């Protein structure tokens, strides 16, 4: 009986909902292509309800939009602001300045709990294998990159094997708060220089002469380099087919795993490269001023919107 069920599931469930990657995508979309209850809860906390669903009571906002289903493809259109730009989870500009007007401080706290607990952003994700073709250390803000450096160091201590080590970074002006937090960055003005400074300070003795520095300029439509633009630069080094381990953090782990893999599958379909993204858990606290809480929750929602959008893209590519 169980074998028959598994065969039926394999034949009839959409390909998108079987993932061999490190990130747990089933936390976002179920086997029917519907967004899961934690995502539905986040929708409700921003005033988006599904037709036939009873309205939440208590601190939940009144409906600003009612949609027909909880199918991934329908949800993506809404949270990207395609149907109504005023109702969107995607925020333009710098993440640390994000402020989603759909949120109240009470809703922000609940969304942070959903992200950290139900969606697992608080948990670290470790490597699934012992041997990889390469490691991709992904650039970021200074504090986040510092975490990625130390996570990478722990991986090396555990004996993870790899052929090549890549630092993937790019053009971005450093913020004053990054330089204030790390004094050795005071004379550095670009993310690329910053990643090298951290690397040389912590990891270079173990990887001297064994790493490849991949730097991307900002694409025309952006003021800074993106994950996609760094992948494009990475591919210029003709990496070997195989599985690569990418290092990220928290809510950016599933997002960056999807973005990198989608970029490869779309632009380099014969590369034979698969990416597994790992990293430390999100250290976001459910504390702070109202402005800080809404900013943190806005970042979570923006990341969720990008995760769901890339899941839909992956489905279309497949």
3-state SS of 214-251 is: EEECCCCCCCCCCHHHHHHHHHCCCCCCEEEEEEEECC
- Do residues 300 and 112 make contact, with C-beta atoms less than 8 angstroms apart? yes
Q: What is the pLDDT of residue 2?
A: 36
3-state SS of 210-224 is: CEEEEEECCCCCCCC
Please determine, for residue 55, whether its predicted confidence score (pLDDT) is greater than 80. Answer: no
What pLDDT digit, counting tens, does each position of 278-302 carry? 999 999 999 999 999 999 999 999 9
Hey, is 138 helix, strand or coil?
strand
Structure token digits, residue 161: 């094997």
Structure token digits, residue 52: 């036939």
Q: What is the pLDDT of residue 83?
A: 86
Q: What is the pLDDT of residue 63?
A: 87
Domains and CATH numbers, the chain: 25-121+291-312 (no CATH), 131-281 (3.40.50)
Please determine, for residue 250, whether its predicted confidence score (pLDDT) is greater than 60. Answer: yes
What pLDDT digit, counting tens, does each position of 152-201 carry? 999 999 999 999 999 999 999 999 999 999 999 999 999 999 999 999 88
Structure token digits, residue 205: 């003795």
Lowest-confidence segment of 25-29, 195-199, 206-210, 225-229 by average pLDDT = 206-210
For residues 93 and 295, the model is more confident at 295
pLDDT range class, residue 1, cuts 50, 70, 90? very low
CA R_g for the chain: 20
Q: What is the pLDDT of residue 62?
A: 87
For residues 114 and 94, the model is more confident at 114
What pLDDT digit, counting tens, does each position of 118-151 carry? 999 999 999 999 999 999 999 999 999 999 999 9
Q: What is the pLDDT of residue 54?
A: 75
Share of the chain above pLDDT 90, in %: 80
What pLDDT digit, counting tens, does each position of 6-28 carry? 333 333 334 433 344 444 699 99
Please determine, for residue 42, whether its predicted confidence score (pLDDT) is greater than 90. Answer: yes
Mean pLDDT of the chain: 90
Q: Would strands 131-138 and 161-170 be described as parallel, antiparallel, or unpaired?
A: parallel
Which residues neighbour 119 within 8 Å (Cβ) at sequence distance 6 or greater?
27, 28, 38, 251, 304
């Amino acid at each position: 009986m169980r074998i028959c069920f598994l065969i039926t599931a394999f034949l009839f469930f959409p390909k998108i909902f079987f993932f061999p990657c490190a990130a747990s995508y089933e936390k976002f979309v179920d086997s029917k292509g519907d967004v899961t209850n934690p995502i539905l809860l986040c929708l409700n906390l921003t005033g988006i309800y599904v037709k036939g669903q009873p309205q939440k009571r208590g601190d939940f906002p009144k409906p600003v939009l009612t949609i027909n289903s909880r199918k991934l493809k329908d949800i993506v259109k809404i949270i990207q602001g395609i149907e109504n730009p005023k109702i969107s989870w995607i925020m333009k500009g710098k993440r640390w300045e994000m402020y989603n007007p759909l949120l109240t401080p009470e809703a922000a706290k609940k969304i942070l709990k959903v992200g950290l607990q139900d969606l697992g952003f608080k948990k670290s994700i470790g490597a699934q294998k012992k041997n990889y073709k390469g490691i991709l250390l992904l650039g970021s803000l200074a504090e986040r990159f510092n975490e990625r450096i130390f996570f990478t160091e722990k991986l090396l201590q555990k004996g993870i094997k790899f052929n090549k080590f890549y630092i993937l970074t790019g053009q971005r002006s450093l913020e004053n708060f990054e330089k204030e937090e790390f004094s050795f960055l005071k004379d550095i003005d670009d993310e690329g220089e910053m990643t090298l400074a951290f690397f040389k300070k912590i990891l270079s003795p173990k990887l001297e002469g064994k790493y490849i520095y991949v730097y991307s300029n900002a694409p025309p439509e952006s003021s800074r380099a993106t994950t996609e633009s760094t992948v494009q630069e990475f591919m210029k080094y003709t990496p070997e087919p195989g599985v690569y381990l990418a290092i990220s953090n928290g809510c950016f782990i599933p997002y960056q795993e999807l973005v990198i893999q989608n970029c490869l599958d779309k632009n380099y379909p014969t590369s034979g490269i698969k990416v597994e993204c790992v990293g430390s858990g999100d250290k976001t606290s459910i504390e702070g001023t109202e402005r800080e809480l809404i900013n943190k929750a806005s970042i979570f929602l923006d990341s969720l919107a990008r995760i769901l959008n890339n899941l839909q893209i992956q489905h279309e590519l497949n």
